[in-house]
Amino acid sequence: MTMRLPKAFTNVSLVVGALISLTIILLAIFAPYVATHGIEQMDMRNRFDGPTIEHILGTDNFGRDLWSRLVFGARISLTIAVIAVTASAIIGTVVGLVAGYFGGWVDQVLMRITDIFLGFPAIVLALAIVAVLGPGIMNVSLAIIVVAWTEYARVVRSTTLVLREQNYVQAAKALGASPARIIFKEILPNALGPIIVLASLGLGTAIISESALSFLGFGLPPPAPTWGWTLAYGTRFMRDAPWLSIVSGATIMVTVLGFNLLGDGLRDVLDPRQLSRGGGKSAKAK
Amino acid sequence: MVAYVIRRLLLLIPMAIGMVVVTFGLLLIIPGDPAAVLLGQDATPEAIETLRNTLGLNDPWYIRLWDYFAALLQGDMGRSIFQNQPVSEIILGRLGATIELAVVALILATLIGLTLGVLAAIRQGSWVDTVTMLFAQLGVSMPVYWLGLLLMLLFAVQLGWLPAIGRGVPLPEAFLAAVTGRPQVLWDSIGHIALPALALAANSAAIISRLVRASMLEVLREDFVRTAYAKGLRKGRVVIRHALRNALLPVLSVIGLRFGALLGGAVLTESIFAWPGLGQLTIAAISQRDLPLIQGIVLTFAIVFALVNLVVDLLYAAVDPRIRLG
């Protein structure tokens, strides 16, 4: 993992992506301070308000403040995304490391299992899982994890296949290091680049999935101000207050865009491809 | 090639078995008594007992899994709890609409993705490249249901050019009608599918365009492209006949993978545009917690996706000898 800072700062994707992501994360953390109203606080005199000084993004049919609902919604989306990405990354990485390092039938079995989970359209399996388990932060996260881990498994496996042939891994083996030690001390640190890139992109995907579930009414139940539900609720008032849906959707898009740009930028800067080009020495420099 | 086809077909068997196990597993992870959970709080003990028997819940799980397999091999996916109809019949009635939507979206996504990707690659670094890739980045980040709503708001509600919801006559029938002198039937069908297909296609179009661009940039640097220019061929000919043909290979496999995403996206698109396919059925089944139906739908999606990937792999092998021999 070599990352030269000056190079990082000149990467437009990375800088813009980091700025957007950081802004959303800060808004979510400080939601109680940046929200101007309570999420359920009604203001019947100002129903369906367009943007005003009091309600900067307007209000819905109960006069509830859209801005406040969105910043609190950010907490839900980000919490679920972080849980889902962390768990998927851990599961997928372990599977990928084990499959890539041991090869043979272990690899065959693990990769066929990965293929099976990858073979379901993500949202369909997620919906089915939420349907049987019921809504809730952990269940929605689980629904996302079930498919999301497969990508880490595949990428980490192929990185491991390259890394295990490197001289320093062979040397560790010759010195009698245990497989667990080699996998976690020698290979994992050098496979972190692609994992970080995938995790950043994965945050975006998880947010899209979570908001899709809540859009369909299977995410956290109201009064939780999820982005997806706020958007879906807004569609009832498409003629009177189209901004409710438009702004909620734009919030989702900008957030996902932020994490995607960050991921793309990180990919450029960390350049995981260096590994497959035989850059063994620079890969170990850390 | 025959050996490759057989090997690839054999791979499908463990995959299908695994998918059935996962689908069956959905029933096992329900907390508590599935029958009571599925029927809700107001269910009588008798109704719960009846459902327990129908679902075979009184048997141990391995017997149920075996029965499930045996039934599936005969095309029996069980009966819907609420519609009192075989699951396979309900699904078959809806499958066509979803496949039609996904296929049209896939064609749109490929056409748009190819055009934008090639344009961006041959004008690398210019404003065309920047604008195209900006659109691609937005397309990747945009929730499909939101884009659907925006398209509906603009083209159906504001401009009134296209119908907002519903489906016309199925496209194959509509083509037939057009040939026999009723073109308005075809126009009506195309009008209905235009918005949902476009909304569904955007995300894949964006991904394909980025891939085509990267792939083209790599190929355009190859020696044979330089040779083609040196022979004095026109740029258009070099780009289309020499570069694009080679750049398409890696793109092809991704196009197959996109079909799975399109099937999933169809669930969302259908719910917005009231498209009468599997997606709408999924939402209804999940709202009612109609488990046999949910399992049937999940399995159908997985099998269709697996078959599409099989076709793509075979096509890929037909085009690129390195695959089938390697």
What pLDDT does residue A87 have? Answer: 96
Low-confidence ranges of chain A (pLDDT < 50): 1, 272, 274-286
Q: What is the pLDDT of residue A275?
A: 40
- Which residue stretches of chain A are H helix? 5-10, 12-29, 31-34, 66-102, 104-118, 122-133, 137-163, 167-174, 179-181, 188-215, 227-234, 243-270, 273-276, 280-284
Nearest Cα neighbor of B248 from B164, B325, B312 is: B312
**Nearest of B144, B97, B145, B72 to residue B281 by alpha carbon:** B97
Q: pLDDT tens digits, residue range B248-280?
A: 777 777 887 788 888 888 889 998 888 899 988
User: Residues B100, B194: contact at Cβ < 8 Å?
Assistant: no
Q: Which of A124, A229, A254 to mutate to test the interface with B (most CBs of B within 10 A)?
A: A124
**In this prediction, what percent of chain B has a pLDDT beyond 90?**
11
pLDDT at A281: 32
At which residue do the structure tokens 């497989």 appear? A179
Q: Which residues of B touch A17 (CB under 8 A)?
A: none
Q: What is the mean pLDDT of residues B163-183?
A: 79
Residue with the two structure tokens 């919801």: B165
- Check residue A252 and give its pLDDT: 93
Q: What is the mean pLDDT of residues B27-52?
A: 77
CA distance B311 to chain A (A): 14
Dihedral sign of CA atoms B109, B113, B116, B119 in order = negative
Cβ contacts of A112 on chain B, cutoff 8 Å:
14-15, 18
A7 neighbors A15 (Cβ within 8 angstroms): no
Is B221 strand, coil or helix?
Answer: coil
Angstroms from B144 CA to nearest CA on chain A: 9
Residues 6 or more apart whose CB falls under 8 angstroms from that of A215 comprise A228, A229, A231, A232, B143, B145, B268
pLDDT per residue as tens digits for the range B118-144: 888 888 888 888 888 888 889 889 999
- As a whole number of angstroms, the distance between CA B315 and CA B319 comes to 6
Instruction: Compute the distance between CA of residue A273 and CA of residue B273 in angstroms, rounded to an integer.
Output: 42
The pLDDT of B152-160, averaged and rounded, is: 84
Point out which residues pair with B86 in neighbouring strands: B79
pLDDT digits (tens, 9 = 90+) for B303-314: 888 888 888 888
Structure tokens at A44: 């019947």
What pLDDT is attached to residue A208?
A: 92
- The per-residue pLDDT for A280 is 34
Which of A70, A77, A123 to mutate: most B Cβ within 10 Å? Answer: A123
* pTM of this structure: 0.86
C-alpha closest to that of B280 among B167, B174, B114, B173: B167
Question: Is residue A59 classed as helix, strand or coil in its secondary structure?
Answer: strand
- Determine the residue of chain B that is closest to A249 in CA distance: B146
Residue B70 sits at φ, ψ, to 5 deg, of -60, -45
B305 touches chain A (CB under 8 A): yes
Bridge partners of residue B79, in order along the sequence: B86
The pair of structure tokens assigned to B110 is 């490929």
Interface test mutation site (partner A, options B11, B20, B30, B286, max chain A beta carbons within 10 A): B286
pLDDT tens digits for range B197-213: 999 999 999 999 988 88
pLDDT of B103 strictly over 70: yes
- Stated as kind and residue range, the H or E segment containing B25 is helix B2-28
Which alpha helices (DSSP H) does B87-166 contain, by range? 87-122, 127-141, 144-151
Dist. CA A259–CA A24, nearest whole Å: 10
Q: Which two three-digit tokens encode residue A69? A: 């609902």
Please indicate whether, in this complex, the C-beta atoms of B298 and A112 are within 8 angstroms of each other. Answer: no
What is the residue whose two structure tokens read 């258009």?
B236
CA B181, CA B169: separation in Å to the nearest integer? 15
Would you state the pLDDT for residue A7?
63
In terms of phi and psi (left: phi > 0; alpha: psi -120 to 50; beta: otherwise), the region of B49 is alpha
Rounded to the nearest integer, the mean pLDDT of chain B is: 84
| Closest residue in A to B210 (Cα–Cα) | A264
Phi/psi for B79 (5° steps) reads: -110, 145
pLDDT(B83) > 60:
yes
pLDDT of residue B240: 74
User: Residue A120 corresponds to which amino acid?
Assistant: F
A119 neighbourhood in chain B, CB within 8 Å: 15, 19, 260, 302, 305-306, 309
Pair A17, A196: CB distance under 8 Å: no
Q: Which residues are bridge partners to A11 per DSSP?
A: none
| Cβ-Cβ contacts under 8 Å for A132 (sequence gap 6 or more) | B26, B27, B29, B30, B37, B289, B291, B294
Phi, psi of A59 (to 5 degrees): -135, 165
One-letter amino acid for residue A200 of the chain: S
Q: Are B30 and B37 in contact (CB under 8 A)?
A: yes
Computed over its alpha carbons, how large is the radius of gyration of chain B?
Answer: 24
Total count of residues recorded for chain B:
326
Among A210, A222, A225, CA closest to A256: A210
User: What is the dihedral sign for C-alpha B56, B59, B62, B63?
Assistant: negative
| pLDDT score for A78 | 93
Calpha distance B230→A238 (Å, rounded): 58
Nearest of B237, B312, B295, B221 to residue B8 by alpha carbon: B312
Q: Is the peptide bond before A135 cis (omega within 30 degrees of 0)?
A: no
Nearest-angstrom CA–CA distance, B269 and B261: 12
Q: Which two tokens stand for residue B238?
A: 């070099």
Q: d(Cα A52, Cα B317) in Å, to the nearest integer?
A: 60
- Mean pLDDT computed over B290-313: 87
Q: A-side interface with B, Cβ within 8 Å?
A: 112-113, 115-117, 119-125, 127-134, 204, 208, 211-212, 215-218, 231, 235, 238-239, 242, 245-246, 249-250, 252-254, 256-257, 260-261
